Amino acid sequence: MTTTSPAALAAPAAPAATLADAAAYAAAVKTATRAAAEYYATGESTLDDDAYDRLARGIAAYEQEHPDEVSPASPTGKVAGGAAVGDVPHTRPMLSLDNVFSAEQLAAWTASVERRIGRTVEAWSVEPKLDGLAIAARYEGGHLTRLVTRGDGTAGEDVSHAMGTVVGLPQRLSEDITLEIRGEVLMTDEQFERANAVRTEHGGAPFANPRNGAAGTLRAKERAYTVEMTFFGYGALALPASGAELAARLGDWPHSRVMEYVGGLGVHTADGTAVAPRTLTTADDIQARIEEIAAARPGLPFGIDGIVIKADSAVDQAAAGSGSRAPRWAIAYKLPAVEKVTTLLGVEWNVGRTGIIAPRAVLEPVEIDGSTVTYATLHNPADMTRRDLRIGDRVTVYKAGDIIPRIEAPVAHLRTGDEQPITFPEVCPQCGSDIDVSEQRWRCVRGRNCRVVASVSYAAGRDQLDIEGLGVTRVVQLVDAGLVDDFADLFTLRREQLLQLDRMGETSTDNLLAAIDTARSRPLSRVFCALGVRGTGRSMSRRIARHFATMEHICAADADALQQVEGIGVEKARTVVAELAELAGLIDRLTAAGVNMSEPGVPVPDARTTEGMGSDTAAASAAETGGDAGPLDGMTVVVTGAMTGPLEKLSRNQMNELIERAGGKSSSSVSKRTALLVAGEGAGSKRDKAEQLGTRIATPDEFAAMVSGFLDTAL
């Protein structure tokens, strides 16, 4: 998973554009003004965020050195770069935020705020900067009556026609009050995918990115279809008709309390997400929270492009005041760009271990989030056709939860006419066999047999069967010798067969056979993971194994039963059922070879309770069958730092397995739901957060003692 490291956060921002003379300055102002107009009108722009930021900083630097040459059209000091317009006046200016790009710049800014107000700021609110469109939602008597965009800060555009399509912005509040709630309208990843599917079905070009989708959808008045968006509230203020009591409360309360009140009214906020707002007092705590939000960014189901730091106290905010463009008591800490525009040079077609034919985009190299990107994942052929991707397109490349970034869509308004259609393969690129195109993801008709080496190597990997000495080179040798067609064949290898192979002496042969024999006793979760069932991985395999206890029960489960496992929806359940039917012969051969087919520590359900297990967890199954709950029963456990003592040799995956066998649930982040943090050497921000929340913390030795009865199966 891609994350933004503390080192990357501390790195200086990309250099501002250098403007050598008045002509370069005039051209830069024209380019920035045009890009801002495109951005705030439709969400599309000829410049990505990073390029616009560098250009804007270059313009500001030139103006500082040449104050007599400042153009009236300059975006400097203007809300929305001076590009947005509107005819609905705001009751209070709806300002933008100034930016900082490093810890040093943030420290300088907080010091400047405290110098301005003449005292230490009481507390700071640290919250995500959501990548959407700022909206003012006006409620009268508890009813939603109007939606207005930010516009130029003094007046915005009426988009009230979008009411009813924005999730998290209720038509009626829980109280009959009059007020204005400000926040961000955006598309979640799921909403974006759905919006593009619906849009292309109706003959429209796909949106380039979620912000583009939200901007276009929010302003669209006459469409034959509707798509959802999501609202995140970040502030509230009184209207003239609000009444003195409410106006006093909203004016006097700290920002954090106002947002608690807004959430209580039924409005969606960032509270409860992995990037929930926090109220902090020290610079170290603020920086630690910034790093936590940055690290959580790739896994979020919605986009953020920074972190907002605000003085929490209303008194401090009033003392700091506001400029014409931005408040002086709030700042945006911008994160490295995760989205850029570049050129699609070509498409490669690769075959995975299950026979899936996966397209990969070849890109003109582009710098994203501190690394040079030359490849990106693409969706299936049907989706590529729906998006109308073409070779030579300027495309939006997004780096989020994927190690290899993905292409969202072509930037259609930048086309020149020289773009060419993508050629899809007619036969399997790996083996030349026919292609099964009956599903969205194309697959070689030979399935796993197309990539035997990849499939067997995956099964033997550390997080699956962990067969030491069985690397890719050795697997190739076994396949080429005709000894292995799938990984079940590993368990039938004989000593005399191996001794006939090159570079296989008696010692290496005996060691490999011993490692294979050890692999027979791996827990069901690892055996299931080794099967490489589409739509599952290490964590999902553990959940499935703990839910059903035995391979027999897994294979007997229908789609409805599989949906009772956390994280398995309708489509994934159908895929798993179909895959297991296809793998039935392999599973039978593994069973016959003596490979373990049960999960340690999980009681096998009685045959009478197998049907209709419903949402029973492993612990519930244990209760039904008289089993004892584990020492971590019902606990969410997070592991951080280097393990020592009895746990020293365990990988993170093995630690997660240990936690779940002992009845707990493993997690990678500390939250209010975390019951225990296992903190080893070098534990950092997760330990700090656990201490702040009052979460129980255990050393590796203490944790080993807690789960001592389960350690043998983990080591």
* Residues noted as catalytic: 129
Q: What is the distance between the alpha carbons of residues 56 and 77, in angstroms, rounded to a whole number?
A: 10
Task: Return the ∠ at Cα 201 (arms to 200 and 206), rounded to 5°.
Answer: 10
Which residues touch 593 (CB under 8 Å, ≥6 apart)? 488, 491, 492, 520
Alpha carbons 206 and 578: distance in angstroms, whole number = 32
Cβ density class 280-305: b for 16+ within 10 Å, e for less: beeeebbbbbbbbbbbbbbebebbbb
Contact 165, 228 (CB under 8 A): yes
Question: For residue 50, which phi and psi values (nearest 5 degrees)?
Answer: -65, -45
Q: What are phi and psi of 97, to 5 degrees?
A: -125, 140
Structural contact between residues 186 and 302, judged by C-beta atoms closer than 8 angstroms: yes
CA-CA distance, 88 to 86, in Å (whole number)?
Answer: 6
> In b/e form, how buried is each residue of 514-547, taking b as 16+ CB within 10 angstroms?
ebbeebeebbbbbbbbbbbbbebebbbbbbbbbb
User: From CA 569, how far away is CA 560, in angstroms rounded?
Assistant: 9
Give the neighbor-by-neighbor strand order of the sheet with 99-100. Answer: 99-100, 330-334, 304-311, 124-130, 278-280
Nearest to 98 by CA among 89, 108, 90: 108
Torsion, Cα 624 629 633 639, to 10 degrees, reads -130
Q: Which of 16, 108, 96, 30 is nearest to 62 (CA)?
A: 16
